[in-house]
Chains A and B, each alone.
Chain A
């Protein structure tokens, strides 16, 4: 949860303090602001660089059509099964009578998806050379074979592998093979 920034916009004082408590317990999470006012919230959405906006249905209704910002950043707090129709779909929905564990898990899951997105934006995509290496790994080459095919040293192959794993979050050969096929670096028939 390192560096993930939240804004809370909830009318009910009790709900708002509850969620502030949950966010403050996440290690490394940052609560930029917490408010019950629509005007303050609209300002915050416009000005702050945040990752998640936690709001209740009432606020969502009032904000709807206005500057809700990026919908994929919204975590909605609502009464059970009371999904108001016509409202945009949100990344995550927390119900009022969810247990603490459920709430922590839901927010954790939502942020995992985003922190990988943040990570992906920060780190550049695989370089062409790295893609070559991924292709050879997926085809089953050993470090030595890959070095031979690409006319580079074994040491360089190992450095590429390390960087690839760091960028993708995938370590094993079978995992890299799945990645290579999904990203059309190789065809499924080649493996």
Chain B
């Protein structure tokens, strides 16, 4: 996450990066990817997602989710339904936000060598730390 922040100068607030991580938790971690360590999973469990979806009651209603619910109180499938709305929203900005969050999440996630075995990716042929 630090490296991703370094590249894209994201807002470094814990809530924001937390939100992003939560998104990736949603994406993959909570699906029980056995390749990730217990420590990584615990980071994900302690995330504050509020920054991302604070007071988005309208969308909660539109997705048929209980009014007044917060993201944390949703079940995993409700969360998925909620975020799924973004991707096909009539608002281009919402779709765009979805796209960006998704991209940053996947950059963070699929750059982790721990995840590669799960997708049968053997990684680089040469093994060299970059100095960048």
Are A and B genuine complex partners?
A: no
Q: Which residues of chain B have a CB within 8 Å of any CB of chain A?
A: none
Q: Which residues of A contact B (CB under 8 A)?
A: none
